[in-house]
Amino acid sequence: MAQVRRKFSVLEAGSPRYVLARKKAIGKSIYLGVAVSYSSEGQFDWACSSYDGNEFVVHEDTFNASTTVTRADQLKQLNDNIISTVHDYAASHNYRIQAVCVGCDDKTANVVAEHPELKDPIREMCTRFWFDLDATPCIYTLRGLSLNEEAASAARKTYDWFTPQFPGNIPRIAVDPDTNEVLVDMDGHCHMADLKHFEETTDKPTWDKLLQLADECRQRKLKILFFNSTPQGGGVALMRHATIRLMRLLGVDCRWFVAKPNPDVFVITKRKFHNVLQGVTDDEQYRLHQEDKQLWTEWCEQNFDNYWGDGKGVVDTADVIIMDDPQLCAIIPRIRKLNPAARIIYRSHIEVRSDLASLAGSMQHDLWDFLWGGFISQSDLFISHPVAGFIPPRVPHAKVALLPAATDELDGLNKKMTSADLEYYRRVFNRCAEDQGSPGISADRPYVIQIARFDPAKGIPDVVESYRNFRAQLAEKGIDNEQHPQLLICGHGSIDDPDGTVIYEQIIEMLAQPEYSPYAMDICVTRLPASDQLLCALLRNSFCALQLSHREGFEIKVTESLSKYKPVIAYRSGGIPLQIEDGKTGILIERGNTQGVADALTRLYLDNNYYQEFVNELRTKKQDTKRQEYFTPFQSVNWLYLATQLAYKGNGNAAVAKAQPAAQDIEGTYMGNGEVRDWKATYVREFWQNCVV
């Protein structure tokens, strides 16, 4: 092929326009297509096309690899060449590569099929785009009359797959229209990490167990299904994306389904289920009535009949089904009828006020009586966060197992970032803040952050009040305002959460009050688009994190903060004390004590040695090992263990475990009157870590 070389742009690196762009502008978002051709003679041709939604700019080249190395090593050399070229291109023109589609035509795909050793370098190119350039990578088969056409086609596909109206690289959420299955990572086209990356972040005993259980699932051809209400927004969706991503790499048949959204039903499930069970409202208008029950039940049953019922090849062929929270639990009786052999696990993700649920006549009692008696009681196992006070009445002790929530070290919420990445996302945040009339982050001031949905349980008014007290203490000590840290309150939304806008507007009104208005220009309150890296960068750049939730099951954002070596000041609420070692990795304050939060902030900010003690502890191997329990590989071992033990297929009579470890007393507090309650229950990890099965 004749070599055709073109510059991507006429904007030169030293021009005044370029210098201005570097100082002021957010890098322009572009989307790349990379087309690779490999001949049987060993010659590599490649073309790269950038697309910003308006025009294509193409670079085409031939790469002559060393003939003294293997084909796979030749392809690795091409990887270095491509990554280096596009990196220099983006850096010299102040562009931001949001995503890239790497592909080849059928002829080259056949060459790769004949030489399987070439597959891994292609996948490695994708993972390098993710980890080195923070560009979400995709793999696709391309068609065109030339490499240029293939590259341009790939760039256009990439643009279409993402959401370019704001700077970000989260692929559009795809849901199968026939079954409402969430097509995670664009049905597998995105390839951000390989098994080796997960192995590098996991201790050997856990990794070996994961591979063993995955092999058993494959041999027995087990089919595992997750059900919940939404594919994006909130901790459940975050965990499921990560779980499916890893299960796909392991070759396990694990799928995830969501309901067709209905805003009227989401008002019920959020305000009359979620908020009532958590005890964040005592307003009688949120008591569940017969018409609410009927609307919700019909919605669940219609979703089942239309997408997952008889003949759909979903529930009727499943072995293990996990129901995440109560939103869809009305389908459990239908599952039982259609597939009696399927084993059903109900997972409770929230802090349930079991004290109120035990009080006859309370909203919580009547709601739980309805959910448990008609639906959840038909599940085989009840999974709870490890706090006794979260386990509602009438759940048999023998039916309970404990499993904390998890996050993923390799996704956009947690992966490592360069200083350039951090600065880019600071500017993106400031643009979002400006669009909402909120101040942005100063480049030369520290800030305190709470990342959370705008939810009545998250204690956001307490965050503002604590910050006011903190600022007053700094002023009393004679510290100039310019040296005072800012405050960031931000988070994503969720389509099943009608409270988001209400709470957001309440906080904005609160900042207009006379006692808070002097600090309003240093408080950034922003609802952010669905960009995981944006939240990651904000947390990594922070001074410390707050989590002043009044009700909390198990807060993933606490885990994410600690894994970034940020001390967390949090209320002693729900499962949070299980995540923080008071005085070592963070500071626990009694719920509502905003003065105590301010005191803790002041000491952390003014006493550098005290602050550094927390950071040093968070960096220890001990803490790193402890945190692994809250990451995707460890969590996946728990799920696969339960699946292999519960499923009948290829296992005779299924049981929860062949060898039962001793149940442990877990402490929990009846939140209403302070009474301590013990409950004998077992962590799922205890079965596979300590028992010979």
Among 546, 405, 576, CA closest to 463 = 546
Q: What are phi and psi of 417, to 5 degrees?
A: -135, 150
Q: What pLDDT does 493 receive?
A: 67
Contact 328, 259 (CB under 8 A): yes
The predicted structure's pLDDT at residue 8? 38
**Which pLDDT does position 434 carry in this prediction?**
92
| pLDDT of amino acid 313 | 93
Q: What is the pLDDT of residue 222?
A: 97
Contacts for 326 with CB less than 8 Å, ≥ 6 apart: 269, 273, 277, 371, 375, 376
pLDDT at 167: 54
Q: What is the pLDDT, as a whole number, of residue 585? A: 97
Q: How far is CA 162 from the centre of its chain?
A: 17
Exposed e or buried b for every residue in 198-213, given b needs 16+ CB within 10 A? bbebbeeebbebbeeb
pLDDT at 397: 85
DSSP 361: T
Q: Which phi and psi angles does 351 have, rounded to 5°?
A: -80, 110
Q: Determine contact, residues 256/308, Cβ cutoff 8 Å.
A: no
- Hey, what domains does the chain have and what are their CATH numbers? 16-169 (3.30.420.60), 188-406+634-690 (3.40.50.2000), 419-630 (3.40.50.2000)
Check: CB of residue 373 under 8 Å from CB of residue 541: no
Question: Which pLDDT score, from 0 to 100, does residue 3 have?
Answer: 38
Q: How many CB atoms lie within 10 A of CB 51?
A: 23
Q: What is the mean pLDDT of each run of 10 residues along the chain (693 residues)?
A: 37 49 72 84 81 82 75 83 90 90 85 78 91 93 87 89 66 90 92 95 95 97 96 88 97 97 92 88 88 96 96 95 94 97 94 87 93 96 90 89 94 93 92 92 94 90 97 94 94 69 91 94 91 93 95 89 97 91 96 96 96 97 93 97 91 58 71 64 87 43
Distance separating alpha carbons of residues 639 and 213, to the nearest angstrom: 10
Give the model's pLDDT for residue 494: 63
CA dihedral 175, 181, 186, 188 (to 10 degrees): -170
Task: Beginning with the edge strand found earlier in the chain, give each strand of the sheet holding 253-258 in spatial order.
Answer: 253-258, 223-228, 320-324, 343-347, 381-384, 400-402, 676-683, 664-669
* Integer angstrom CA distances of residue 22 from 13, 90, 419, 491: 10, 12, 15, 28
**CA pair distance 561, 546, nearest whole angstrom:** 9
* pLDDT at site 654: 61
Q: What span, in angstroms and rounded, lies between the C-alpha atoms of 336 and 315?
A: 10
Predicted confidence at residue 543, as pLDDT, reads 95
Q: How far apart are CA 353 and CA 370, in angstroms?
A: 15
Give residue 464's pLDDT. Answer: 97
